[in-house]
Amino acid sequence: MLLKYFYDEKLAQASYLVGCSATGEALVIDPARHITPYLRAAEKEGLRITHVTETHIHADFVSGSLELAGATGATIYLSDMGDADWKYAYANDTNVILVRDGDSWKVGNVKVDVLHTPGHTPEQIAFQITDTAGADRPIGIFTGDFLFVGDVGRPDLLEEAAGLAGTKEVGARQQFATVQRFKEMADYLQIWPGHGAGSACGKALGAIPSTTLGYEKLFNPAFQFEKESEFVAWLLSDQPEAPFYFAQMKKVNKIGPALLRALPLPTNFDRATLDAVIEDGGQIFDLRNRGQFAATHAPGAVNIPADNSGFVTWIGWLVDYERPVYVLLPSIDSEQAILRDLHSIGIDYIPGYFSPEVLSHRTQALPVITARQLAQRLPLNGLQILDVRGKGEYADKHIVGARHIPLGYLPQRLAELPKDRTIITLCASGYRSQIAASLLQAAGFEDVLSLNEGEECWSRFLPTESGASN
C-alpha cells in the first residue's frame, strides 16, 4: 500500500492518493479541482487512478471528482446517505457507484470500508482502510470533515451558509453520536483528516497533518463530553463566521461542477477595456500587494493581495458569482496560478485580466495611517474607527469606541457607516483593513484611511477594552 498526501494551504484542504503497488491501481480521496498533482504522483509511482471518492458535498472548494474521473476513466464512489436534499445530481451517471454505511470495495489489495459519520453534513462518510496484503485489521481512517486534529466538523454550515434553518442542532446531535461511535474503535487507528488549521469547517483545527484516534480520545475536546446537551452547547458556541461562498460551493458540488477544459480562456485586456469596465461599474479585484495598491490603483477596484494565504477565502466572501470577474494580476506571469486559485472556489466567469502596466493614467491612491499617527489625533472626534476582524477577535480586545463589522459582511452593511466622517479601518495585521478600505473607497466613501499596522501596534498606542459588539 502506498499513501500520498496533498495539501492546499490557501484552502487548508487535504486530499489523498492510496495505491496498491501489487496491481497498480489507485484511489484518490477528496480531490481538488486542479488534478495535475494527482496525475503526476500516480505516474511517478507507476500507478493508474482507477477509483475516485469524496467524503461529502464540500462547502469550501470545488470538488475535482468529475474532473479526475473524466481524465482517467476512474469510477466515482459517492455517498448515498442523508436525505433527499443532500443527494448528488449526477448520481445516476454510468461511472458513479453510490455507497452507504457498511459498504466496501477494493483498490487492488486495499480494502475500503464505508462509515457513515453524519454531523458536519447529513451525507458525510469516512473511509476505513485495510491493507489486506499484510494485515487483517484496518490501518486508519480518512475522516473528511468529521474528525480533525484537535477538533470535529462544525454542524452549522447548512444553516449559516446554505440557509437551511433549524439544522445546526440536529447536526450537533448527530455529531455527538458519531463521536460516541468512534470512542469504541481502536486507539491505534491513524486519522487522516480533510482539513488543517485555517479552515472554517471547524473552530480550532490543529496544524499537524495526521493523528491517531487514541490521541484524539485523550486531547480532542469533542471526546471529553459524556452528556449530549453539553457537547451540543460546546460545539455550537464560538464557531467562526461562515464565508458566503460556502453556499455556492454546496450548490456547485451537488449539481456537479463544469470541467475546466470546457471553460473559455480569459483574455489579457488593455487599458481601454479596463476603462470600459470601470465605467460600467464592473467587478474588479486588484491582487497586487498592499503597498502597490495604496500608491496607485484603478478607481472601483477592490484590493485582495494574492501574497496572503487567505486571499482565496476573502475573494470568496466578497465576489458576486452572478457577475463577470476581472482581476488585475500582481505580474503577468502569475496568470495561471491565479486562475487556478479562482477556479478552486468556482469563480469561472472570468472574461479577462489586466497586467499592472495598464495603470498608466486615471488612477488614485489609498491613504494609510499608522497607530502612532492615529494616537496623535486623540480624542477621536470626527473619526469613525471600523474594526473588520471576526467577532471573537473583537470581543477579546478592541479600540474603545470602535464600530465592529466583520469584513465579509461589510458590503451588506455599508448603509450603517457615515459618509460625513473619516473612516479608519483596522484588523489584526493590516491585511483585512486594506481590503475593507479599498471596498469602501470603491463604494463611494471619499474619506477613508487604512490602519496598516496590526493589533500589536494599535493596542499599544490606543485605549482598548473587551466585550462583544452590539
CATH class of 368-465: alpha beta
What is the pLDDT at residue 34? 98
User: What's the Rg (C-alpha) of the chain?
Assistant: 24
What's the fold here for domain 2-255?
Answer: Metallo-beta-lactamase; Chain A (3.60.15)
Count the Cβ atoms, other than its own, within 10 Å of residue 133.
Answer: 13
Give, in degrees to the nearest 5, the angle at Cα 118 between 115 and 123: 85
What is the pLDDT at residue 251? 94
Residues facing residue 29 across a β-bridge? 16, 53
431, three cell numbers:
491585511
Asked if the domains at 263-358 and 368-465 fall in one CATH topology, the answer is: yes
Count the Cβ atoms, other than its own, within 10 Å of residue 324.
Answer: 14
309, three cell numbers:
494565504
Q: Catalytic residue among 20, 201, 427, 457, which?
A: 427
Residues 6+ apart with CB under 8 A from 5: 14, 16, 192, 209, 210
On whether the CB atoms of residues 182 and 138 are closer than 8 A, the answer is no
298, three cell numbers:
484603478
What is the pLDDT at residue 469? 81
What's the fold here for domain 263-358?
Answer: Oxidized Rhodanese; domain 1 (3.40.250)
On whether the CB atoms of residues 406 and 241 are closer than 8 A, the answer is yes
User: How far is the C-alpha of 398 from the C-alpha of 334, rounded, in Å?
Assistant: 37
Give, in degrees to the nearest 5, the angle at Cα 313 between 335 and 349: 50
Query: What is the maximal distance between C-alpha atoms in the chain?
Result: 74
User: How far is the C-alpha of 66 from the C-alpha of 33, rounded, in Å?
Assistant: 9
In which residue ranges of the chain is pLDDT below 50?
Answer: none
What are the extents of the domains in the chain?
A: 2-255, 263-358, 368-465
What is the pLDDT at residue 159? 80
Give, in degrees to the nearest 5, the angle at Cα 141 between 135 and 146: 165
What is the pLDDT at residue 85? 82
What is the pLDDT at residue 105? 98
Q: Is 427 a catalytic residue?
A: yes
